[in-house]
Amino acid sequence: MGVTRFIAILILGIVTLWDGSASGGGKVVATVLTSDLPRYKEAHHAFVRALSARGNELEIITQTPNPDPISWANTLRKFNAVRPDVIVTFGAPATLAAVQETDNIPIVFADVYGPVETGLTRSMTRTGNNLCGASSKVPVATLVRSMMEIRPVKTFGILYNNREAGAIVQLKELKRLAAQHGFQVAEANVPSAAGLDAALNHLVARSDCLFVTESSVVGRQIDRVMRRAREARLPVISTVPDASEKGALLSLEASPAEQGQLAAEFVVKVLGGKKPGEMPIASPHRVELVVNLNAAKLLGLQVPFRTLSVATKVLR
């Protein structure tokens, strides 16, 4: 897969991109998306728009590899050859690949679910290395509690990919909640789309609610997941942006657009001379709890007022 180049043409020239810099000439930013999921595309578009609004010319190189470790690593090796001024990664898998494959190139990440839990850093205050960025971690406990308010769940079935760090973090969080609250967790690893149907059949037979993690493999097949869940009359909950729009009963979503904007802010600071490892990791501020009343109606469920009152968005 070749590297796609495009120029963000920034012609205003009123606000300089780099503090104290007259033009920033020839700066190159390389971006890599974990996969072609809408969430990463939206974050990337917001990132480009935010940089464009600052008024300098900047070359942006972008690539969207397939969601597998070899593809992520190959993309970063190509970027090593280009030697950009900054590498920007969207998603935990691409970020971990960047840390492993690059040397002495600043890395700015966005939409990483749990930078500490995934092993990118030991602290949210400062990474201490050539890395900075934005977390997309949301409280899974809130999502589970909201589901339990609608209907008690004895067993959550969870779809994840054991090659994607963010999905593994969410699996561990759900298991920790299970130990605290007494429900069970049935898990199904989906390393490729070919295994999704078998995974769904496994979970449908054992669960009374499906939890869809941020796995890009599962996310690319979200319509298949929702169709099977409807057939089995199982509610779906997820942390994936727009999951409720696709048919999930509940979703708790960090804003992809905000993630892209935060990444742009970090790039500006890095190109302005600030050391990535000395900046605190940004946490999401725009988080939505979305309730899908259409899904509730199809499942014969009543959403209590308490749940509706804390929801930031209700789909009718």
Confidence at residue 34, expressed as pLDDT on a 0 to 100 scale:
87
Pick from 73, 72, 69, 50: which is nearest to 60 by CA?
Answer: 50
Residues 202 and 53 in one domain: no
User: What 8-state DSSP symbol labels residue 198?
Assistant: H
Kindly state the tokens that stand for 197.
């149907």
Bridging pattern class, strands 58-63 and 4-8: antiparallel
- Give the pLDDT confidence of 6-38 residue by residue, as tens digits: 433 332 222 233 333 333 458 999 999 988 899
Tell me the pTM.
0.89
**Domains in the chain: how many in total?**
2
8 A C-beta contact, residue 70 and residue 100: no
Q: Are residues 121 and 238 in the same domain?
A: no
34 and 160 share a domain?
no
pLDDT at residue 163 in the model: 92
Do β-strands 155-160 and 209-212 pair in parallel, antiparallel, or remain unpaired?
A: parallel
Compute the half-sphere exposure of residue 104: CA atoms within 13 Å on the CB side of its CA. 2
Residue ranges of the chain with per-residue pLDDT less than 50: 1-24
Q: Are residues 43 and 72 in the same domain?
A: yes
CATH assignment at residue 80: 3.40.50.2300
Are 297 and 175 members of one domain? yes
Instruction: Give the pLDDT score at 100.
Output: 94
The parent domain of residue 132 ranges over 4-136+256-286
User: What pairs with residue 87 in β-bridges?
Assistant: 30, 107
Same domain (yes/no): 166, 222:
yes
